[in-house]
């Protein structure tokens, strides 16, 4: 089990250290290799995704990723910004399926901006297609200035496009995921207005014939956005395109009220995956030892489940996180009255100790 460890920038190295600590408590043997990525890689080599880092990622069974980005790189030309490393990894590794679970842990229901009864027990999975749609359609790259702006231009446009194989493969991934969960899949589109998404609906419906045990329904994206805040527990698995998925998965994340808790996975056709917390590099708290490492620890659990075929180890980590929350430990982002506030390292230590206690 070869893991490429890319900690990145900001709080990335701090939260990664805790995830590795937890992985090392399992009775499993990993081959781990670290490399620079994002702003750290740019500072050292002049590129956010150096050739060596990409090769390492491609040769590994899974990539465990911290976060990239820092405001000090915001004036760089777009191609050299830290965030380009993620786009490069997605593209070169063919990571087309993005899994974003939104789980509201019973101990954290009060952290949501919705009423507790609407989110208590929430456990939904958003699967976002990651390599097609308007972000990758033609024409791209016609910017008239190297920094990505358009001095003097009168218009700009992007083209929305999906091919049948692109929709089919994400639909298969989604039906299979729904089959392993509650057996319900909601496909989100805009078939009433966009040709691309009428096509999406037709193709998903055709793929459904191979999964008669899964209940499929279709929802327009505007309605899906409403239902997510009105009755989020009515969903099981949602599948949607790149752009709608980007927006809906962040909306769903905030239902749980705690961005520091949410893991994510991006998978390719051979189950090789990149696993990262849903949050960014949080430069405002970097180096202070206060970041919540649980999203990264839970990303490591997803890695064990989806790319390394170790579902039991994944479940052990998830149970350990629940137990630590139950014991009342909280980092600042999820802190509430009556709980004990701890730092990044103490939280990682507590999860590791819980794993050891489980035996
Ligand atoms: P962010 O997610 O980094 O931070 C948003 C807010 O959430 C901040 O107040 C931060 O302190 C807090 N936060 C985030 N993670 C936390 C954690 N684990 N524990 C406690 N608090 C946490 O988003 P941002 O501020 O918009 O972006 C900061 C940088 O991160 C930017 O350069 C952005 O481009 C980059 N970014 C990277 C990724 C990625 O690496 N995948 C994703 C999003 C943003």
- 3-class DSSP state for residue 142? coil
Phi/psi of residue 179, each to 5°? Answer: -60, -35
DSSP per residue, 80-123: GSTTHHHHHHHHHHT--EEEEEEE--GGGGGGSSS-HHHHTT-E
Cβ neighbourhood burial of 17 (10 Å; 0-12, 13-18, 19+) = middle
Q: Closest Cα to residue 324, out of 307, 302, 346? A: 346
Taking CA atoms only, the protein residue closest to ligand 1 atom 38 is 280
Give me the residues paired with residue 274 across strands.
63, 266
Evaluate whether 1-95+268-359 and 97-258 have a shared fold: yes
Q: Give yes or no for residue 282 CB within 6 A of ligand 1.
A: yes
Distance 281 CA to ligand 1 centre (A): 5
* CATH T-level fold of 97-258: Isopropylmalate Dehydrogenase (3.40.718)
Look up the CATH architecture of domain 1-95+268-359. Answer: 3-Layer(aba) Sandwich (3.40)
Does 98 contact ligand 1 (Cβ within 6 A)?
no
Instruction: Encode the chain (359 residues) as per-residue pLDDT tens digits.
Output: 999 999 999 999 999 999 999 999 998 999 999 999 999 999 999 999 999 999 999 999 999 999 999 999 988 988 899 999 999 999 999 999 999 999 998 888 888 889 999 999 999 999 999 999 998 877 665 666 666 677 777 888 889 999 999 999 999 999 999 998 999 999 999 999 999 999 999 999 999 999 999 999 999 999 999 999 999 999 999 999 999 999 999 899 888 877 889 999 999 988 899 999 999 999 999 999 999 999 999 999 999 999 999 999 999 999 999 999 999 999 999 888 899 999 999 999 999 999 999 87
Half-sphere exposure in the Cβ direction for 150 (13 Å, CA): 8
**What separation in Å is there between the alpha carbon of 259 and the centre of ligand 1?**
9
**Domain coordinates in residue numbering, the chain:** 1-95+268-359, 97-258
80 contacts 47 by C-beta, under 8 angstroms: yes
């Amino acid at each position: 089990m070869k893991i490429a460890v890319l900690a990145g920038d900001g709080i990335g190295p701090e939260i990664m250290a805790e995830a590795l600590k937890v992985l090392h408590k399992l009775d499993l043997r990993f081959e781990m290799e670290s490399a620079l990525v994002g702003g750290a890689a740019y500072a050292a080599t002049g590129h956010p995704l150096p050739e060596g880092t990409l090769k390492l990622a491609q040769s590994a069974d899974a990539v465990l990723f911290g976060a990239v980005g820092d405001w000090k790189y915001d004036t760089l030309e777009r191609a050299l910004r830290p965030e380009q490393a993620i786009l490069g990894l997605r593209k070169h590794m063919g990571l087309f399926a993005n899994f974003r679970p939104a789980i509201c842990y019973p101990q954290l229901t009060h952290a949501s901006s919705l009423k507790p009864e609407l989110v208590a027990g929430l456990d939904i999975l958003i699967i976002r297609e990651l390599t097609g749609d308007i972000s990758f359609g033609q024409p791209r790259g016609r910017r008239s200035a190297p920094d990505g702006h358009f001095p003097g231009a009168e218009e700009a446009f992007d083209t929305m496009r999906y091919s049948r194989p692109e929709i089919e493969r994400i639909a298969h991934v989604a039906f299979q995921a729904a089959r392993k969960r509650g057996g319900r899949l909601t496909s989100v589109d805009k078939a009433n207005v966009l040709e691309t998404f009428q096509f999406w609906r037709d193709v998903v419906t055709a793929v459904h014939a191979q999964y008669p045990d899964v209940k499929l329904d279709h929802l327009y994206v505007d309605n899906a956005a409403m239902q997510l805040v009105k009755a989020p527990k009515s969903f099981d698995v949602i599948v949607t395109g790149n752009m709608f998925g980007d927006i809906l998965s962040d909306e769903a994340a905030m239902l749980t009220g705690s961005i520091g808790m949410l893991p994510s996975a991006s998978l390719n056709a051979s189950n090789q995956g990149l696993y990262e917390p849903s949050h960014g590099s949080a430069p405002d708290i970097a180096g202070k030892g206060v970041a919540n490492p649980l999203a990264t620890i839970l990303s490591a659990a997803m890695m064990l489940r989806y790319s390394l075929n170790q579902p039991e180890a994944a479940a052990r980590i998830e149970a350990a996180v629940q137990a630590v929350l139950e014991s009342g430990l909280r980092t600042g982002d999820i802190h509430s009255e009556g709980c004990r506030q701890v730092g990044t390292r103490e939280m990682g230590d507590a999860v590791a100790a819980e794993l050891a206690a489980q035996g």
